[in-house]
Amino acid sequence: MEQSPTEPARTPNDVGLWFMLLGLLALAASLLFGVLGAFKFLYPEFLEELAFNKLRPLHVSLAVSWIFLTAIGGIYYYLPNFSNLSSFSNRIARWHFWIYLVTGLTILGAYALGKFGGREYWEFPPILALPIFLTWIMFGVNYFTIAVKRRTAWPLYYWMWGTGIVFFFLTFTESYLWLIPYFRENMLREIAVQWKSYGSLVGSWNMLVYGTALYLMEKISDDEGVARSKMAFGLYFLGLFNLMFGWAHHTYPVPFAAWVRDFAYVVSMTELFLLGKIMWDWRVSLSTRQKFQHRRPYRFLFASDMWVFINLILALVISVPALNLFTHGTHVIVAHTMGTTIGINTMILLASVFYVLEQRVGQDVEIRHAQPISIGFWLANGSLLIFLAALVAAGLIKGTYESDSFQDMMETIEPYLLVFAVAGVGLMVGFWLLILSAISHMRGLVFSLQSDDCPSSKQLGRLSLFDN
């Protein structure tokens, strides 16, 4: 018998919390390597024992891991609350976690030793992709085993999560086509397939993250219509369309038919706008009580909504083919990527983390960590604004610089990159305050199990990861 959507399931353990905790640690480490990499880029003699070609993949891989780990953790935590728990395999979920952890540590070790061999995002030796394939098969089996048991109509976030899982597997596979000589031996063919796969890969994790945002919006407002409206499903189909075709705006420099570029330009304009509209309407519909009752998750979702519109403006600029010729490959593209990853995805995922803490430990998270959380929130968002502005300025100068001297150009943009690096320090400190506040509560939950059905109960019993 299917449980009520508002009735918390009695889970034998909380494997999703393990993923969230590991995701928070990945974010903290990614920020550190990002700051070190920024100063290393500016001053090559800085920490000579740390090479930039090691710092960059460490930063990127950990940032991607933060997104996937926390999104997966949220799905593992939330989904059993909506289906018969007998459909959910904790054994598969635990194996998923441990395989991911061991593979991740192996990848970090390979980077530290200078063992590369992959491509962008996946710069580790290709053999390490095999356990990642396996974990996504395990995740998909667990997810769809639960989802198909739901007898009522799926809310939108079910569709988005399922689509993200399927398309990640497809695009991850596509990103390794370079191993086949047909692609690897033709530079244009390999570049086109690689950039295409990465554009769609971002679309797949957007499905996971935006689905999480809709889930939180439904729970905070206590309105199931949020995830069932025509506009919400319009976002899904637009996001799906963008996932499959919007990648082409990443490949303007590659010889393609003109209609492909124009088509991708139109598609890429719409998804962020619709997401922002949904989140804006949702915020307006909330009562003061609802905002106060869920103030931490609400605040992060509010910040995400603001960054949606800021990044939409930037996306409009870089997606115009004529302007993309000047901005592609510059720091403007980095700003767009950082703005989306940090301003939108990270804020949504932090909302998810603090929503779980809110449900499990109640107002204790507010009482013990109200000031660090507030300082961290404002410091992170303020630093991000300066961070992105410095990147955009440096990118525009680089894209329009007329001298043939690379050294002269770098000297011109160096002050902007220094501002970017210093703002990165503020960004790191702000997020570290948030991460430490979350971990201080999360670590207790990871090793504990609620002794009753109340989500905010503090009576926590011990939990063994290896319980059935």
Tally the residues of the chain. Answer: 468
DSSP structural state of residue 82: G
**Bridge partner list, 460:** 450
Element (H, E) at 461: strand 460-462
Q: Is residue 85's pLDDT more than 60?
A: no
Comparing 143-147, 167-171, 400-404, 431-435, which segment has the lowest mean pLDDT? 400-404
**What pLDDT does residue 454 have?**
36
* pLDDT average, residue stretch 269-279: 64
Residue 255 — pLDDT band, cuts 50, 70, 90?
low
Looking at per-residue confidence, does 435 or 413 come out higher? 435
User: In sequence order, what are the residues at sequence separation of 6 or more whose Cβ sits closer than 8 angstroms to the Cβ of residue 314?
Assistant: 332, 335, 336, 339, 388, 392
CA quadruple 288, 292, 295, 297: dihedral sign: negative
Which residues sit opposite 462 in a β-bridge? Answer: 448
- DSSP alpha helices (H): ranges in 321-363? 321-327, 331-338, 347-361
User: With bands split at pLDDT 50, 70 and 90, how would you rate the model's confidence at 353?
Assistant: very high
Give the pLDDT confidence score for residue 6 in this predicted structure: 40
Q: What tokens does 467 get? A: 């319980």
pLDDT score, position 47: 78
| Distance, CA of 52 to CA of 415 (rounded, Å) | 20
The three-state (H, E, C) secondary structure of 127-178, written as one string: HHHHHHHHHHHHHHHHHHHHHCCCCCCCCHHHHHHHHHHHHHHHHHHHCCHH
- For the ranges 24-38, 317-331, 401-415, the lowest mean pLDDT is seen at 317-331
Under DSSP, the state recorded for 8 is: P
Q: What DSSP element (H or E) covers 448? A: strand 448-450
Residue 463 has pLDDT above 60, yes or no: no
Separation in Å, CA 276 to CA 23, 311, 382: 25, 10, 20
* 362 Rama sector, left if φ>0, alpha if ψ -120 to 50, beta otherwise: left
pLDDT in tens, 125-146: 999 999 999 999 999 988 888 8
**What pLDDT band is residue 449 in, cutting at 50, 70 and 90?**
very low
The pLDDT tens digits of the residues spanning 174-230 come to 888 888 888 888 887 887 788 778 778 888 888 899 899 989 988 888 777 777 877
Instruction: Rank 111-115, 277-281, 317-321 by mean pLDDT and report only the highest.
Output: 111-115
The kind and range of the H/E element at 467 are none
- pLDDT computed for residue 200 by the predictor: 80
Q: Apex CA 350: angle with CA 68 and CA 245, to 5°?
A: 45
Q: Tokens standing for 124?
A: 């580790």
Q: Which pLDDT tens digit goes with each residue over 20-53?
A: 999 999 999 999 999 999 898 888 887 777 888 8
Q: Report which residue type is found at 183.
A: F
Between 110 and 151, whose confidence is greater? 110
Amino acid at 432: W
pLDDT of the residue at 409: 77
Q: Could you please report the per-residue DSSP string of 341-408?
A: IIIIIIHHHHHHHHHHHHHHHTTHHHHHHHHHHHHHHHHHHHHHHHHHHHHHHHHHHHHH---S-HHH
Compute the distance between CA of residue 256 and CA of residue 104 in angstroms, rounded to an integer. 36
Residue 98: CB atoms within 10 A of its CB come to 12
The DSSP line for 97-118 is HHHHHHHHHHHHHHHHTT----
- Where is pLDDT greater, at 253 or 85? 253
Please give the full DSSP string across 306-322, using - where no structure is assigned: HHHHHHHHHHHHHHSHH
Q: What pTM did the predictor assign?
A: 0.84
pLDDT of residue 392: 87
Q: What pLDDT is attached to residue 419?
A: 92
Minimal CA–CA distance to 124: which of 180, 64, 57?
A: 57
Between the alpha carbon of residue 216 and those of residues 148, 204, 230, 435, the distances in Å are 21, 19, 18, 19
Whole-number pLDDT of residue 10: 40
Residue type, 237: F
